[in-house]
């Protein structure tokens, strides 16, 4: 029997569901391939030299206006020798548009770092007159993440782990899944555990969803002190701190020209009791949410302890008088009796927050959108 005949017979023996599943897998890979082609030219390597003269490599990616994101540990305390792309860039949406050759890039500002316990850095390069594709970043925040969000989401990771015996830096693309969303002891930001193998050099690389949106950046391998990098869990830092840092240093905007995220959420906070956080990092016992869209304002507070909820409401009311519209066990929904300025609303929310903290609740997630403060400065 010929090889061709055996092959045809094996295919014909597949069930309809197996054929459909294979076709679906091929379709998904094709989708990710298009995402890869569009994103590859926006991902660069960072060659560095330490004080001893030893060379190293990491990854970074362009989010727009010449702003690149990388992991803090890739560049901190090191001399940046070179930043360069190695893949053709396609500035248009279509992957078959005119290609722009790889190039070396000159840093004109940075790198800048945020808090010491967050492994992220940003810098700006001179793009010149040649377009450079940018990777869109996710709008999610710490406050948004629920206990099941993103788990089993398919992702594409791009970066520059060194490949032995190769003569130049090579960009590596790998598909995987997010297996867990976790909080780690050494950082306040959310981390995603990926199914892909952790490798040095991937640090600072980007993790994309199927549509090409950056969900996170590669930061570290979570393992014991003596374990090899490759044996640890591949840990991805949520993109949120990178957006906040780029907004602070460069006025980076996700929408409407407003630095950072444009959001109607003026301030939002989530709290948990110790017994809850000892079992789950993304199940909450209380929250404060203040919405202000420049026209209407409403506030929602929730807590499974009505006495603590009343104390938080009283603390808020001492600064901004509430007009309660809904009150039930564990929940109160209200609007301010007047039209307070954003700064006053934030002060009232902070006063309510203090009541939760005094009642031994832990603040575990926070979201701020202070564009109103810039718009209404002087109110």
215-232 pLDDT, tens digit each: 999 987 655 566 545 545
Which band of pLDDT confidence, cut at 50, 70 and 90, is reported for residue 358?
very high
Question: Interior CA angle at 195 toward 192 and 197, to 5°?
Answer: 105
Q: Is the pLDDT of residue 376 over 80?
A: no
Which band of pLDDT confidence, cut at 50, 70 and 90, is reported for residue 11?
very low
Which band of pLDDT confidence, cut at 50, 70 and 90, is reported for residue 96?
low
Which band of pLDDT confidence, cut at 50, 70 and 90, is reported for residue 198?
confident
Q: What is the DSSP string of 202-235?
A: -TT-EEE-TTS-EEEEEEEEE--TTS-GGGSEEE
* pLDDT digit string, tens, across residues 146-157: 778 888 889 999
User: By mean pLDDT, which of 23-27, 33-37, 134-138 is the weakest?
Assistant: 23-27
Which band of pLDDT confidence, cut at 50, 70 and 90, is reported for residue 135?
very high
CA dihedral 161, 163, 164, 169 (to 10 degrees): -90
Burial class from Cβ neighbours inside 10 Å (0-12, 13-18, 19+) for residue 180 reads middle
Which band of pLDDT confidence, cut at 50, 70 and 90, is reported for residue 23?
low
Q: Is the pLDDT of residue 14 over 80?
A: no
Residue 111: asked if its preceding bond is cis (omega within 30°), the reply is: yes
Helix (H) or strand (E) holding 216: strand 214-222
Pairing mode of beta strands 233-238, 253-255 = unpaired
pTM confidence score = 0.82
What pLDDT does residue 22 have? 60
Residue 30: Cβ within 10 Å count: 10
Selected residue with higher pLDDT from 352 and 293: 352
Q: Is the pLDDT of residue 63 over 50?
A: yes
**Is 353:129 a contact under the CB 8 Å cutoff?**
no
Sign of the C-alpha dihedral computed for residues 61, 64, 69 and 75 taken in this order:
positive
| Cα–Cα distance measured from residue 229 to residue 233, given in angstroms and rounded to the nearest whole number | 8
**What number is the average pLDDT over the span 157-169?**
90
Which band of pLDDT confidence, cut at 50, 70 and 90, is reported for residue 188?
confident
Burial class from Cβ neighbours inside 10 Å (0-12, 13-18, 19+) for residue 153 reads middle
| Cα–Cα distance measured from residue 36 to residue 33, given in angstroms and rounded to the nearest whole number | 5
Residue 335: Cβ within 10 Å count: 16
Length, in residues, of the chain: 379
Selected residue with higher pLDDT from 214 and 11: 214
What pLDDT does residue 10 have? 47
Residue 160: asked if its preceding bond is cis (omega within 30°), the reply is: no
Averaged pLDDT score across all residues of the chain? 84
Helix (H) or strand (E) holding 311: helix 306-317
Tell me the percentage of the chain whose pLDDT exceeds 70.
84
**Is 204:60 a contact under the CB 8 Å cutoff?**
yes
What pLDDT does residue 299 have? 94
User: By mean pLDDT, which of 9-23, 106-120, 158-172, 182-196 is the weakest?
Assistant: 9-23
**What number is the average pLDDT over the span 117-143?**
90
* pLDDT digit string, tens, across residues 278-321: 777 788 899 999 988 777 889 999 998 999 999 999 999 999 99
Q: Which residues of 59-82 are buried (b: 16+ CB within 10 A; e: fewer)?
A: bbbbbbebbbbbbbbbbeebebeb
Q: Is the pLDDT of residue 95 over 70?
A: no
| Cα–Cα distance measured from residue 353 to residue 358, given in angstroms and rounded to the nearest whole number | 9
DSSP summary character for residue 281: S
Q: Checking phi first, is residue 165 left (phi over 0); if not, alpha (psi -120 to 50) or beta?
A: left
């Amino acid at each position: 029997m010929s090889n061709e005949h055996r092959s045809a017979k094996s295919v014909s023996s597949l069930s309809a569901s197996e054929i459909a599943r294979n076709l679906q897998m091929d379709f998904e890979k094709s989708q990710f391939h298009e995402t890869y082609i569009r994103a590859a030219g926006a991902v660069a390597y960072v060659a560095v030299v330490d004080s001893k003269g030893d060379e190293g490599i990491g990854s970074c990616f362009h989010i727009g206006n010449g702003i690149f994101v990388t992991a803090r540990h890739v560049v901190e305390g090191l001399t940046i020798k070179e930043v360069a792309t190695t893949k053709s860039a396609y500035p248009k949406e279509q992957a078959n548009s005119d290609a722009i050759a790889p190039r070396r890039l000159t840093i004109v500002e940075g790198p800048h770092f945020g808090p010491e316990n967050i492994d992220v850095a940003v810098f700006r390069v001179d793009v010149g007159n040649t377009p450079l594709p940018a990777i869109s970043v996710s709008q999610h925040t710490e406050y948004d993440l629920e206990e099941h969000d993103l788990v089993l989401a398919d992702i594409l990771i791009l970066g520059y782990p060194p490949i032995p015996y190769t003569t130049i830096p090579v960009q590596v693309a790998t598909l995987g899944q997010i297996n867990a969303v976790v909080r780690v002891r050494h950082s306040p930001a959310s981390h995603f555990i990926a199914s892909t193998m952790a490798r040095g050099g991937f640090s600072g690389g980007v993790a994309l969803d199927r549509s090409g949106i950056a969900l996170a950046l590669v930061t570290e391998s979570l393992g014991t002190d003596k374990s090899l990098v490759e044996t640890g869990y591949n840990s991805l830092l949520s993109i949120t701190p990178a957006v906040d840092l780029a907004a602070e240093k460069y006025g980076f905007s996700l929408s409407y020209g407003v630095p950072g995220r444009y959001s109607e959420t003026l301030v939002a906070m989530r709290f948990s009791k110790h017994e809850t956080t000892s079992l789950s990092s993304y199940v909450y016992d209380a929250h404060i949410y203040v919405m202000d869209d420049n026209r209407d304002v409403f506030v929602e507070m929730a807590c499974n302890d009505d006495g603590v909820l009343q104390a938080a409401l009283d603390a808020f009311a001492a600064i901004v008088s509430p007009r309660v519209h809904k009150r039930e066990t564990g929940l109160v929904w209200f609007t301010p009796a007047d039209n307070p300025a954003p700064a006053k609303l934030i002060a009232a929310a902070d006063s309510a927050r203090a009541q939760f903290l005094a009642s031994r609740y832990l603040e575990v997630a926070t979201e701020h959108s202070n564009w109103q403060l810039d718009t209404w400065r002087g109110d």
